[in-house]
Structure 1
Amino acid sequence: MRLFETLVEPSICLEDGLDARRTLPALLAARAARNGAAPLFSDRTTTWTASEAVDIAARRAGALAAQGVGRGDHVALLCGNRSEFMEIVLGCGWLGAVVVPINTASRGLQLEHILRNCGARLLVAEAHLVDAVHALDAQDLPLETIWLIGEPTMNAPESSTYATAPLPPAREPAAPARLTDGDPFAVLYTSGTSGLSKGVICPHAQFYWWGHYTARDLGVTAGDVLYTCLPLFHTNALNSFFQALIHDAELVVDRRFSARGFFDALVETRATVTYVLGAMVPILLGRPVTANEREHRVRVALAPGVPENFQQDFTTRCGIALVDGYGSTETNCVISGALGAQRPGYMGKLAPGFDARVVDEQDQAVPDGEAGELILRADMPFAFASGYLGMPEKTVEAWRNLWFHTGDRVVRDADGYYRFIDRLKDTIRRRGENVSSFEVEQVLLSHPSVETAAVFAVKSALAEDEVMAAIVLREGKTLEPLELTRYCEPRLPYFAVPRYLDFVRDLPKTENGKIQKFKLRETGVTAKTWDLDASGYRLRRS
């Protein structure tokens, strides 16, 4: 008997093409039973078939269990796109533990908060990234043990309280946990607006529905090769694994996006479907035309947030059709549409199984054609996140009146198409990452020369945002912009370090002392604004 037949009940049935249970162990077993010999995952050095993925999940779960990890325990994961990342994800899902993928650029306050908030006793980390953990001045973290992937760049400091060891080999296979669709699968951290990053509790079924709806709009079928260079610690790339899993396709991941190597990678991997973000398309179009832009097999890309004026140019030049849409870590692929239903400048229509309203400040619906906040809910159980970890007040606020409040302003046209306008939240979207203005401000304020600071978004030429900060110095203090940048660098993810700095005498405020960031955004970049990109200094990315 094959491993998946011995470890999983043979009662997994299919109904209208949908798995009866939507947990990772059930989905893995069902895929192995249907098409076990076909490839499921590759990081371009290691490839697994579906049957091999079941064995890997069970044996990695055995190693986690031997470490004392049990159902419901959180396991932190600080790792880039490689097979070990998915190995830990599958092992946790098989065991019923909860994986906590952390942005590999996390540093300082943000990283400390995540490790404290998730309560993980075990961290699995690439060796070259673990220095950021040892640099934290936090001796009371719940963390006890670190498993290292690869060779460390330096020895752990003598003062470290963490037991550090190489990633242990797989153990005897563990039996799959008896899970429900609503059991938590992962906690994904999304940047806060007026506070620290929030840990979004994502149940197993949420990722099933991500895989179902996203693949439906992309037309994913058996034998497709899905290629992504987006980070697996975000929803976009992680749900692409579920697209492959439930549709008998293969997911191929690369370490990172390279404009120069993107089309080469599509050719080399024989990809048929890919994934891009809004800023990637103008970057790719800005490069000289090359032959390989037309030598690939890719027919379609999921491309949320690509500006309307770039969409047709990209398709005409590269032969890849673009599918827009709307979703968030807390929700799902709620607004989109297949290729024939795409309309430039619009996110698409509401998917079946979801409900949406466009509302005013009192949650009253506004007429079609009028802008308001998008609020959402799902018909299917556990298709959305279950809330924010350890932040009940934030959960209640976001899900008030039993609708999830996205914080995004949209317009719904009379024919049901939705158009994105802007964000209501004080958050910044840069290079595909959400940046918390609060977290950046806390780092700026910790500099001894800074009296107060306000961080806000200004428009980028690449269709997203740039980070800008207005700084008021303490009386009698002076500070060079590059000195402040170097101070921020080890304390913030590279993408959160402000590009623009303005040193000002004071900040615009309301009568009760609240900083009026809208006035700062309206002023934006001026002739006296310091620009990091123009300085010639290049930030380190790891």
Structure 2
Amino acid sequence: MNGMTIPDLVEAAAARHGERTFLTVDGTRRTYARTRTAAATMAGALAARGCRPGDRVAALLSNRVELVDLVLGCAWLGAVVVPLNTALHGRLLRHALDEARPRFLYVEEELAARVKETGYAGRVWVTGARQAPVPHTGKALDPHPSRPGDTAAVLFTSGTTGPSRGVRCPHAQFAWWGRNVADSLRLTSADTLYTCLPLFHTNALNALAQAMTVGASVVVDRRFSASRHWARAAETGATCVYVLGAMVPMLLAQPPGPGDRAHRVWRGLGPGTPGPLWETFRERFGVTLVDGFGSTETNLVIGSVPEDCRPGYMGTVRDGFEARVVDAGSACVPDGVPGELVVRTARAHAFATGYVGDPERPLGAWWRTGDRVVREADGWFRFVDRLKDCIRRRGENISSYEVETALRAHPDIAECAAFPVASELAEDEVMVAVVPRAGRSLEPAEVARHCAAELPGFAVPRFVDVVGQLPLTETGKVRKSVLRERGVSGATWDRHG
């Protein structure tokens, strides 16, 4: 399959778009032609240091040009890049290194001490203000003849519900991501994509593939800033943005101002945006958020387009993919009934081949997503909850997502999370953690009264924590495993107390 490896993407984009700007990151601007050269010379530099096709090269780097060069250089050489979450340290960093077993590790100077503490025995390269990066003085190599199904990267899942796992992502998976999301967002060569999401996760990495697919430009910032987001979008000339998790409510929690619409952005990728926030976001910022379902293991299986969105819905199944909603025994449930989403694809190598250490999944196998969804009779899919986040109380299944949607309707709540904790009756109780808007205060009893007006009685939270912030992943997802482990404390308000 021609055109379905990462070097194929790089070469085709360089041939078509040459001196057009592809990437702006960390103060560096790269044309498409210069990006091809950087990939080839990085591959040469890696080879000169003993790296060979199939070797795994881990990276503990923030959003900087060296990480982009490493991703593309490894793909060019036929090696496997393993970008690691820069927040990892101690036991969790050891876990990731033990899972991935890289031969080499490329790390920022400021993070090098963390690697030393793990006892990692492979070769370490350090980059930073006082350290030279892996030089691009190696001989420029021709691209390795990788196949579309060969592993290009090992990406770790977010670990929001348990230990993160390393996912084997083939070359063609990135090519399909680029095609599918570019089509869903209606991207063209006239677009500038702006992301502040980390390059060690699928979303930002695939923004690079989307740009290459259509010849667009992509601007990558180091981190998300709610107060500066729209100013940065304006400064970069962005026409499309990427928002995940808590980013939407955090942006809406900012004081309104003239910068809300002083930009060129008119659409963005915003998976999982609650329905009530979708219209508010569009009215305030002038940005239509396109929803969809995809994961590190899969692709854009379900999606919508800017001209056909339905608030609170992920969309419909895209060409080349299949989706079912099943019960615990894998039998399909009727439309309108919640169940687990399972997906598969007819697109060759559009999905991951499995997890590190597991056997390869056969092409066309069904993938259990762990998401609880509803399929409507007209084919639109609605997210209900993560199966592990579902709360079981008094014989009823309670969606933490729906509890959070009710909480967000409160004018003084900026962020929130609902999760189960054990009760005295060998079932779950509903607990919520809420963050007040800036300059506002929250009384737990008022939070419970608000929920009682919005939710059935069995779903009203028993426990309420008012907190300054929620534990988040680098992509803005709430770490509910941390909240569940913390549970009820002496400062927690108890509706039955």
Could you tell me how far apart the structure 1 residues matched to 2:226 and 2:429 are? 27
1:55 to 25, 37, 54: 37
Paired residue for 1:78?
A: 60
Paired residue for 1:3?
A: none
Paired residue for 1:403?
A: 366
Paired residue for 2:17?
A: 35
1:68 to 50, 53, 69: 50
Paired residue for 2:190?
A: 223
Paired residue for 1:167?
A: 133
CA positional deviation for 1:391: 3.2
CA positional deviation for 1:210: 0.7
Aligned residues: 424
SS of the residue aligned with 1:206?
A: helix
SS of the residue aligned with 1:173?
A: coil
Could you tell me how far apart the structure 2 residues matched to 1:289 and 1:312 are? 16
Q: Which amino acid aligns with 1:351?
A: R
Which aligned pairs between 1:361-440 and structure 2 lie closer than 5 A?
361-392=328-359, 402-425=365-388
Change (3 A) 1:305 1:462: farther
CA positional deviation for 1:343: 0.4
CA positional deviation for 1:401: 9.5
Aligned-CA RMSD value: 3.2
Change (3 A) 1:220 1:525: farther
The answer to whether the 8 Å contact 2:26/2:65 transfers is no
The answer to whether the 8 Å contact 1:299/1:319 transfers is yes
Q: Which amino acid aligns with 1:148?
A: V
The answer to whether the 8 Å contact 2:152/2:170 transfers is yes
Could you tell me how far apart the structure 1 residues matched to 2:216 and 2:281 are? 25
Paired residue for 1:207?
A: 174
2:122 to 144, 150, 160: 144
CA positional deviation for 1:494: 12
Which aligned pairs between 1:229-308 and structure 2 lie closer than 5 A?
229-308=196-275
CA positional deviation for 1:124: 0.7
Paired residue for 2:6?
A: 24
Could you tell me how far apart the structure 2 residues matched to 1:459 and 1:210 are? 35
Paired residue for 2:81?
A: 99
Q: Which moved more, 1:109-118 or 1:47-56?
A: 109-118
Could you tell me how far apart the structure 2 residues matched to 1:168 and 1:503 are? 48
Could you tell me how far apart the structure 2 residues matched to 1:112 and 1:235 are? 21
Could you tell me how far apart the structure 1 residues matched to 2:219 and 2:185 are? 16
Could you tell me how far apart the structure 1 residues matched to 2:160 and 2:60 are? 23
Q: Among the aligned pairs, what percent are the same residue?
A: 45
Change (3 A) 1:283 1:195: closer
Change (3 A) 1:305 1:267: same
Post-superposition CA distance 1:250-269 (Å, at most 9, x none): 11000000011101100110
Q: Which amino acid aligns with 2:37?
A: D
Could you tell me how far apart the structure 2 residues matched to 1:498 and 1:197 are? 14
* Structure 2 unaligned blocks of 5 or more: 391-399, 405-418, 420-427, 437-470
Change (3 A) 1:401 1:26: closer
Paired residue for 2:407?
A: none
Paired residue for 1:127?
A: 109
The answer to whether the 8 Å contact 2:344/2:364 transfers is no
* Structure 1 unaligned blocks of 5 or more: 1-18, 153-164, 431-436, 438-454, 464-487, 506-523, 529-542
CA positional deviation for 1:217: 1.0
SS of the residue aligned with 2:388?
A: coil
The answer to whether the 8 Å contact 1:31/1:246 transfers is yes
Could you tell me how far apart the structure 1 residues matched to 2:109 and 2:282 are? 40
Could you tell me how far apart the structure 2 residues matched to 1:495 and 1:422 are? 13
Change (3 A) 1:87 1:401: closer
CA positional deviation for 1:499: 5.6
Could you tell me how far apart the structure 2 residues matched to 1:47 and 1:145 are? 30
SS of the residue aligned with 1:135?
A: helix
CA positional deviation for 1:278: 3.3
Residues 1:325 and 2:292 are matched in the alignment: yes
Change (3 A) 1:264 1:270: same
Could you tell me how far apart the structure 1 residues matched to 2:26 and 2:101 are? 33
CA positional deviation for 1:243: 0.3
Paired residue for 2:411?
A: none
| Runs of 4+, deviation exceeding 4 Å | 191-195, 426-430, 455-463, 493-497, 502-505
SS of the residue aligned with 2:307?
A: helix
Change (3 A) 1:266 1:456: farther
Q: Which amino acid aligns with 1:150?
A: G
Residues 1:311 and 2:311 are matched in the alignment: no
Change (3 A) 1:283 1:84: same
TM-score by length of 1: 0.73
The answer to whether the 8 Å contact 2:160/2:477 transfers is no
Change (3 A) 1:106 1:494: farther
Q: Which amino acid aligns with 2:385?
A: D
Change (3 A) 1:401 1:44: closer
Could you tell me how far apart the structure 2 residues matched to 1:81 and 1:42 are? 11
Residues 1:110 and 2:92 are matched in the alignment: yes
CA positional deviation for 1:526: 3.4
The answer to whether the 8 Å contact 1:40/1:245 transfers is yes
SS of the residue aligned with 1:213?
A: helix
Q: Which amino acid aligns with 2:180?
A: Y
Paired residue for 1:512?
A: none
TM-score by length of 2: 0.79
